[in-house]
Amino acid sequence: MRILLVEDDAALADGIARALRAENFAVDVAINGEDGAHLGSTELYDAAVLDLGLPKKDGVMVLREWRTEGRAMPVLILTARDAWSEKVAGFKAGADDYLTKPFRVDEVIMRLRALVRRASGHAGAIVVCGPLAFHAQLGTFELDGLPLKLTAFEWRVLSALMLRKEVVVDRADLIERVYEGDADVDSNSIEVIIGRLRKKIGAAMIETVRGRGYRITAGVT
């Protein structure tokens, strides 16, 4: 999963980004509204964390622009503004959730996981495909009831496939969701990750759809 974090407090942004990366998220950070608006309009994200009191462009304005452009990614507003009128303005602009400062980073992570899961059409906290279970609210995987150990890149690819199980996920879509914006991406990197995942969960579960991408299915392992 790839997250856009728009926060002008450098220390706070660094702390949130480090915590998200420790939970296997890919994170792009913008420190002002103009840069955040541009990234949210031009890159693919599973969700965004957006401060309201931003330099150059207010967070509510940024969010309105995204929604006007048809950007449907879930947005969690994170701000020191706790007045009810500010919350109403954020929700009217298209916010999906709201947290006021101070906050626990763990809560940010849990709320983001819930937003991404619901945006993918899963009401329940556990997504199951054959012998594989993704505990989306905890960010963990089980295979035949046993914990599945994954690298960060493997986790990002597998979570993207599981949240869209039985649906073909474009290769370009996977690349955007797995790597941060400044990453130097090798052209064969996704194929390498898919190969490692097939060894861990069974080759039959991940289908290659030639010319398009990959699909996870409840195949016989």
**CA 100 vs CA 90, 97, 104: distances in Å:** 12, 10, 10
Lowest mean pLDDT segment, chosen from 56-70, 71-85, 91-105: 71-85
User: What is the CATH code of the structural domain delimited by 126-216?
Assistant: 1.10.10.10
Give pLDDT tens digits for 123-181: 788 999 999 999 998 999 999 999 999 999 999 999 999 999 999 999 888 888 888 87
Query: Does residue 221 surpass a pLDDT of 70?
Result: no
Query: Does residue 220 surpass a pLDDT of 60?
Result: no
Per-residue pLDDT band at 187 (split at 50, 70, 90) = low
Q: Classify residue 116 as exposed, middle or buried by CB count within 10 Å of its CB (0-12, 13-18, 19+).
A: buried
What are the sequence ranges of the domains in the chain?
2-119, 126-216
CA–CA separation, 72 vs 90, rounded Å?
15
User: What is the CATH code of the structural domain delimited by 2-119?
Assistant: 3.40.50.2300
Give pLDDT tens digits for 6-57: 999 999 999 999 999 999 999 999 999 999 999 999 999 999 999 988 999 9
Asked if residue 10 lies in contact with residue 31, where contact means CB atoms within 8 angstroms, the answer is: yes
Asked if residue 181 lies in contact with residue 43, where contact means CB atoms within 8 angstroms, the answer is: yes
Its pTM stands at: 0.88
- The H-assigned helical ranges of the chain are 10-22, 33-42, 59-68, 84-93, 105-119, 152-162, 171-178, 189-201
Query: Does residue 186 surpass a pLDDT of 90?
Result: no
Single-letter code of the amino acid located at 217? T
Torsions phi, psi of 212, nearest 5?
-125, -65
Tokens of 108: 């940010």
Query: Does residue 197 surpass a pLDDT of 50?
Result: yes
Residue found by looking up tokens 């503004």 in the block: 81
Per-residue pLDDT band at 219 (split at 50, 70, 90) = low
Give pLDDT tens digits for 98-116: 998 888 899 999 999 999 9
Query: Does residue 79 surpass a pLDDT of 90?
Result: no
